[in-house]
Structure 1
């Protein structure tokens, strides 16, 4: 039984390779060019003057917020901004807390579910 299956698999593979390597069909007749029309010369006519549209007013740009002269960077974030994300935080006491990083393995599936993940600041999930 295994021999029949392997023989038929080899046969199908060889047939597909032979079909892929065959040349493409070549058209039997060359296409005939279509009849062309003779172009007649016309006299040049200069363009006439037309009315131009009224100039549109350009919109004025609103001023943007001024950035600090020294810039914002790894060592110079303003108070109330998270240096990890650069975003303003609602509670400044969160900035004094050390970040908690959790590495979670979810395999095998029959293990107990993870708990306490909402308390972590960063979570890494990995598969083994």
Structure 2
């Protein structure tokens, strides 16, 4: 079986391994083609505040973050000033993000799984 390298395209240099800002620039966990990818609870809706309708919507009786172009609509991409040729991913609702996003720990098995499965989806990496 041919195994591809585990997310080599999205790893930052070892000097940034402990740098939490590298996690914030990654954005791999924000990518999905599913409209029901990020569930928004009542507490999440309240935390989103007056912009909740702009960032989330209901599908049936459940709320989810809006998705756009294969990623969370709250995710912005822009050139990374510290890494020429690399795209920086910025969560525009980071301080108000849903609990499921808060619970995903950098370097956890879930994070590593996201990196392995989605590295090829993230443009500019």
Q: TM-score, normalised by structure 1?
A: 0.20
Larger CA Rg, structure 1 vs 2:
1
Between Structure 1 and Structure 2, which shows a larger proportion of helix residues? Answer: 2
Q: TM-score, normalised by structure 2?
A: 0.21
